[in-house]
Structure 1
Amino acid sequence: MKSWASKLYNLWELTRSSLFYVPVIISLMFIGGILLVFRLELSYTEYVEKLDFLYAGSTEDAKTILQTILSALITMTTLVISITMVVLSLSASQLGPRLIKIFMSSRLTQIYIGVFFGSIALTLTLLILLHDQSTFEQPPKLTISCCFLLTFINLFVLLGYVNHVARSGIADTTIERVTQELENSLARLTSSTQDSSQHAPAPSIPQELAQQKRDIYSACSGYIQNIQYPSLLELATKHDLLINIECRAGDYIFSGQKVGAIFPKSHAHADTEINVVGCIDIGANKTGAQDIEYSIRHLAEIGLRALSPGINDNFTAITVLDKLSGVLKKALDKELPEHIYHDEQDTLRLIGRSATKTDIVHSALSQIRDAGKTKPDILYHLIVIIGQINTSLQSKEAKQALVQQVAFIKQHIRDNFHNKEEETYLLNALEKYSF
C-alpha cells in the first residue's frame, strides 16, 4: 500500500466511527435540497399553482405549523440520542467499551441520526425563508409540502431506528459485525497466496553495519496506528541507510522509548532521525489500518467478557469461537505481510516487525481458553474447532501454534477434571482429532 494511501486509510479508520461527520453531511444535503426546491418553485410558480394537492394555507399558518413540527423533531431527536446512549451503555457493560466503536461505525446508525438532524436543519431553514415574506407573493406551497412530507416520513424512520437499535443490542449482531470487519481486514492485509512454509525470520543486520548504529527514540506516547513503510524505504534509499524498526502497528510506546535503529551511524543525522520518527503515526487509540490482530482482539474480548463471573454466558463465547474458527482457517493459510524491503539494486534497506501466525492464534484463542479452563463445554468446543482447522492446514507454523494450544488444554483437563466424567469426555474428543 502506498504511503499516502496507508495514511489516508488510517485517517478513515479514525473518522468512520464518529457520529458527527455523516449527520453533518446529511444535514447540509437537506438544507441544500430545500433551498433548491424553494428556488425552483420561485422560478416555476405557474406550474406549482396547478398542483391542487399541495399546501393551501397562508404563510402565517405555515410558520405556526412549522414551529410545532420543529419542536416535535427536536423532541424526537432527543429521544433518539437517549436511546443511542442507553444502547452504548449496555454494549459497554456486556460486550466491552472498545466495542462501542462497532455500533458507532455502523453506516445505518449514522444515516438514521443524520436524517433526524437533517430534518431539524431543513425545518429551521424553511422558517428563516418564510420570515422574509418580501421574496414571494404567495406562500411556497411545494416547499412547505415537502417539509410536511419529510416530517411524516420521520415517523417511520423513528420506527426503523428503534428496530435497528434493538437488533444492535443483541450480542450475535455485534459478533457478526466484528467478524465482517475482521474478514475485510484480512482480505486487505493478507495475500491470497496459500503459504505452507514456516514464517521467514527477519534478516540479520550485516556484520559490517552492526556496530555502526544510531538508535532512534519516540518523541511522544501512544499507540502506533500506522507505519509509513514506503516513505521509510524512500528515505533509506536516498541516504544510503538500513533502517530497523523494532515496533509494529498496535504496539504502545512511551516518549523516549527506543523504536529502532539506523545503520550506518555516519549517514544518520539528527534530521534523518526526525524524519524516520515522523513516518510512525502515533495516536491515543489503536486502529486496524495495519494491525492485523485488531479485530481479532475485539472478537476475543466479547468471548472473554461472556465467560466472566458477572455474565457467565457460555453460549455467546461458543458463538465467538465459531466465528473465530472460520476466520482463523482463512488467515492461517494465507501469506501474512512481511515488512522487509530492498531497493532497486536488491540492497536491504528496511526491516520491520510483522505479526506471525503464532501471534494470530494466541490473540484469538489463548485468553478465551484460559477463561474457560473450568468449563468443559468451552474446552470441548475449542478441541473441535482446533481439530477441524488443523486437519486442512498447510502452514507448519500455524499447526505448531495450534498444537501448543492443545497442550494447554490437556493441562487444564488434568488440573480441573482429573478422575471426573468430564476428563474422559474431553480426552475422547482429543483422540478423535489425533491430538
Structure 2
Amino acid sequence: MLVRDRHGSVTHIDAQALVDVAARLDAVITVDVQAGQFATSGQHVARVWGRTQVEEADPKRIRRLIWLGGERQLHQYVGFGLRQLVDIAERALSPGISDPTTAVQVIDEIHRILRELVVRKTPSPYVADPDGRVRVVHQPQAIDGLIDLGVREIAHYGSDSPRVLARLTEMLTDLSGCALNRYGSTLDGLSGERARVDLIAGRLPRPRARES
C-alpha cells in the first residue's frame, strides 16, 4: 500500500506513466483515489500487486504520478465544474433569492457540457501495456454519474419554477436523442424525474385519485 505524505485534492493521475512503472515491476498498480477527490496525509492512494516488495516499487515515484494540488482543477475533473454549476442553480432557486433566470442560464451551461459527454464513452478503468497486459486499474469519471448530477438536484429544487422545469425538460429530451446507447439506462432512470417535471409544469394529466 502507498500512502500520501501530505493532503490536497487529486488534480491529475498519470495513468500511462504508472503503466510504465508497473510493466517494469511486472506488477499491477491499482489507484484508490479519483481525480477531484480530496486525499489526506496517510491515506492509501495506490496499491502494487505482484511479487515486488513495496520498497522496490519506488513508492515516491508512484506518489509523484498522482498529483495533488491546493484546489480542484476544472479541466481535470468535470464533476467539480458541474457541482459548482448545480450549487449556483440551487442558491438561485432558494426562497431567499428566487432567481429562476440565473438557474435557467446555469442549465444552459450544464446542457452544453452534458451534450458533449453523452456522445463519448466513459474511459475504461483498465489500462494495458503495449503487450496487452493490464497494468493499471484506476477510477475514471463515470459519465452516467455526471448526467445524474447535472439533472436531479435542480429538478428537485426547481419544482416550483415553470421556467426551470421547462428548460430541464427540453435538455433531457435533447440528451435522450443524441446520447450513446450505453447511457440509455441512465436517461431512462431520469425519465421518472422528467415525468415529474412535466407533471408539475402541466404537460401531463394528473393521475386520478383512487375510488374508495
TM-score when scaled to structure 2?
Answer: 0.83
Task: State the partner residue of 2:147.
Answer: 361
Q: Deviations over 1:77-108 (max 9, x none)?
A: xxxxxxxxxxxxxxxxxxxxxxxxxxxxxxxx
Measure how far apart 1:275 and its partner are.
2.4
Q: Deviations over 1:16-70 (max 9, x none)?
A: xxxxxxxxxxxxxxxxxxxxxxxxxxxxxxxxxxxxxxxxxxxxxxxxxxxxxxx
- Runs of 4+ aligned structure 1 residues displaced above 6 Å come to none
The reply to whether residue 317 of structure 1 matches residue 103 of structure 2 is yes
Q: Check whether the contact 2:3–2:45 (CA below 8 A) recurs between aligned residues.
A: yes
**Do the aligned partners of residues 323 and 309 (structure 1) sit closer, same or farther apart at CA in structure 2, a change above 3 Å counting?**
same
Letter in 2 for 1:387: T
**Do the aligned partners of residues 288 and 323 (structure 1) sit closer, same or farther apart at CA in structure 2, a change above 3 Å counting?**
closer
Where do 5+ consecutive residues of structure 2 fail to align? 206-212
SS in 2 for 1:326: helix
Measure how far apart 1:329 and its partner are.
1.7
Structure number with higher strand proportion: 2
Structure number with the bigger relative contact order (C-alpha 8 A, sep ≥ 6) is: 2
Instruction: Work out the CA distance in 2 between the residues paired with 1:347 and 1:341.
Output: 8
Letter in 2 for 1:239: L
Structure number with higher helix proportion: 1
**Do the aligned partners of residues 424 and 362 (structure 1) sit closer, same or farther apart at CA in structure 2, a change above 3 Å counting?**
closer
- From 221, 233, 240, the equivalent of 2:7 is 221
- From 404, 425, 430, the equivalent of 2:202 is 425
Which runs of structure 2 are paired with 1:47-62 in the superposition (5 Å)? none
The reply to whether residue 405 of structure 1 matches residue 212 of structure 2 is no
Which runs of structure 2 are paired with 1:229-378 in the superposition (5 Å)? 229-264=15-50, 266-270=51-55, 272=57, 273-378=59-164
Instruction: Work out the CA distance in 1 between the residues paired with 2:188 and 2:165.
Output: 14
Q: How many residues align?
A: 204
Q: Check whether the contact 2:155–2:197 (CA below 8 A) recurs between aligned residues.
A: no
**Do the aligned partners of residues 412 and 319 (structure 1) sit closer, same or farther apart at CA in structure 2, a change above 3 Å counting?**
closer
Q: Deviations over 1:289-346 (max 9, x none)?
A: 4213233333333322211222210011112212322332222012343353212221
SS in 1 for 2:124: coil
Q: Check whether the contact 1:216–1:261 (CA below 8 A) recurs between aligned residues.
A: yes
SS in 2 for 1:335: coil
Instruction: Work out the CA distance in 2 between the residues paired with 1:249 and 1:279.
Output: 12
Task: State the partner residue of 2:208.
Answer: none
What fraction of aligned residue pairs are identical, expressed as a percent?
20
Measure how far apart 1:251 and its partner are.
0.8
SS in 2 for 1:425: coil
Bigger radius of gyration: 1
Measure how far apart 1:424 and its partner are.
7.2
**Do the aligned partners of residues 248 and 271 (structure 1) sit closer, same or farther apart at CA in structure 2, a change above 3 Å counting?**
same
